[in-house]
Structures are given as structure tokens and as C-alpha cells.
Amino acid sequence: MTLLITGAAGFIGANFVLDWLAQSDETVVNLDKLTYAGNLESLASLQGDARHIFVQGDIGDGALVARLLAEYRPRAVLNFAAESHVDRSIHSPEDFIQTNVVGTFRLLEAVRAYWGALPEADKAAFRFLHVSTDEVYGSLGKNDPAFTETHRYEPNSPYSASKAASDHLVRAYHHTYGLPVLTTNCSNNYGPYHFPEKLIPLMIVNALAGKALPVYGDGMQVRDWLYVKDHCSAIRRVLQAGQPGEVYNVGGWNEKPNIEIVNTVCALLDELRPRADGTRYSAQISYVKDRPGHDRRYAIDASKIERELGWKPAETFASGIRKTVQWYLANPDWVAHVQSGAYRDWIQTQYVRDEAA
């Protein structure tokens, strides 16, 4: 038995592969383009493990995907591959259209051809699991109910619009062709192996380096926070028991404003790695000009996946964020290696410009 997992050298994909192979001997074929956010060092512990087969390539390469499907005969395809950073989508939206829309379309076409030729028993058992985001639902008011699976799509950034388009394609391939698809829409993930342009790892890395901790606007943008390993367990459960054609929202039941997240990280670093001069890391917080179209609040109602599949997160935010900070403190080499010249150039372009505003 084999799984084909796209984007499995990225943050969530790598965590999923590590967790999967820690509890299963089922082979994983890892297809990843290795853009700036794809990091094989996150999977270094699998080097030499015959259960992990890495192939560098693009989900938009239909011929490559078709060859991998024919060669490895997977029982399921899990699509983690995506451009995912809102700030980058504002500056370079075409990359997001190519990967998230065109790439998903070409992946679906290759999978549809493969699935259509399977023997009936294998065809019935096959699944295509598409990993998406709560950002497709748009922004909530302070007192609005949380997003459910039937909430209207109202994407507000090039990133979320491209993911919304991919979700619609996946849905259409089920209703038009019968492809047995599953879609998960998750809230903000955090945890080990997170590329340090996202809020939590950026705060940890900058704090330890004595740099400013840039917070957009007033810092009161609210997000639901989901520990990445909880997200991985939810995906495993959806793959195991989810109903084809269904959507499952995956959240951590942890709505918090960004500034609270930053202050929590600072307090943990004060405890675990205090500054030599005795001052608090929160002194490094710097409010910067808000990004264009910044959604004010996201919130996930994860009742459906708990009710129908019996899944709920194992970590509280307090336990998950402590594990995350401890992981970054224990893995300075990973952090140092991921901070390539391209990464530093991006942070310089994105945040130093704003700090001067």
C-alpha cells in the first residue's frame, strides 16, 4: 500500500510524513517542487528509509504525476502542495495562481485518469484528499459565529482566492466525474519545522537574534490556532473515515489576537532562554504598517469532524506553544540553515519597509 503526498517537504506535509511513518509501514511517495518553503532537512531523520521515496517535481507536470501514479499505484493522493503566504501573494500573485489553481487542475486531471482505470474494488477504496485553509471563507466580525463547512466563500487575498478556486475544482471533480474527494479547511497551524516568515517562528527567531518583532497594525487580528500535529491526526482520521465529497473544518478552538500570541512567545522565551541583559523580549515588539486587505478575524467551528469522525485536538494552545518554542530552541541548526539569502532578502523587503512607515 502506498500514498502519494504532494508538498510533503513543506511545513505541514513534512510533519504529516514524519507522523505517518512513525506509526505505519505504508510507503510514502513525496512529490515536492522544493521552492523556498520546501525543506528536505525537515525529513532528514528518514534518510535511507525505504518507506520514504522523494521525487522533486511540480504538481503541474501532468506527465510526471501520471508516471508516478502508474509506477507506485497509490491507494490515495494527499495534496498539501500550495503557495501559502498571504504577504507573498500580495507581491507575486501569479505564483499562487500557477501552483494553487493550474497545478491543482493538472493534478486532478492526472488523478482522474489513473482512478478511472483502476479495478472496481480499488476504485471504490481510492481517495483524493485536498488540504485547504479557513481563509477561503473571508473575514468575520467580532461577534459573528465561527466558520462552518457551509459558510459562503469570500476570499480577500490572492492567496485565499487561489485556494478557493482549488477547492471549487476539487468539488467539481467529485460532482462531475465521481472522483472520491475529501477536503479539509484548517485554521492557522504552528509547530516544528515552520518556515520563519509566519508569525510564530518569525517572532521566536527575531527575538533570539535581538531583532524587532514586527506586529501588523494594532495586533488585534484574531486567528484560531491549531498545533500542526493535531492537524496531521485530523487528516489521518479524514483519510480513514471521511465520506467522499464531504468537507471537514479542522480547528484548535483557540481564538487569539496576534499581539497575545507574540506576548506569549516572549514570556516563554523569558522563562526558557532569558536575555543576558535581563530585559524582557517584549521590549523588542515593533508595530508596523498593516498589510493591504488584512482580514480581521478567522474562527473555525470544528464540530462536524468531532461529531462525525470523533476527532478533536489533543493540545491546548498553552501546551502546543510551549512545545513549539522548545523545539526551536533545541534545533538552532535547522533554523540557521533555513535562513538562506533569499529568506533574509524577503524579510528585509517585507518588514524593514513597513517599520520605516
Q: Which residues are catalytic?
A: 134-135, 159
Report the C-alpha gap between 19 and 263 in whole angstroms.
30
Report the C-alpha gap between 207 and 344 in whole angstroms.
15
Residue with cell 470544528: 302
C-alpha cell at 270: 523569558
Sheet order of strands, 222-227 included: 188-190, 222-227, 255-257
Name the nearest CA neighbour of 195 among 36, 17, 31, 30.
36
Name the nearest CA neighbour of 223 among 197, 252, 195.
252
C-alpha cell at 119: 479495478
Residue 301 DSSP class? -
211-243 burial string, b = 16+ CB within 10 Å, else e? Answer: ebbbbbeebebbbbbbbbbbbbbbbbbbbeebe
Phi and psi of 174, rounded to 5°?
Answer: -75, -50
Report the C-alpha gap between 217 and 200 in whole angstroms.
17
Q: Torsion angle of alpha carbons 269, 274, 275, 281, nearest 10°?
A: 30
Report the C-alpha gap between 236 and 252 in whole angstroms.
16
Residue 314 DSSP class? S
What sign does the dihedral 193-102-134-173 (CA atoms) show?
Answer: negative
C-alpha cell at 120: 472496481
Amino acid at 36: Y
Report the C-alpha gap between 163 and 147 in whole angstroms.
16
Name the nearest CA neighbour of 87 among 252, 197, 232, 222.
197
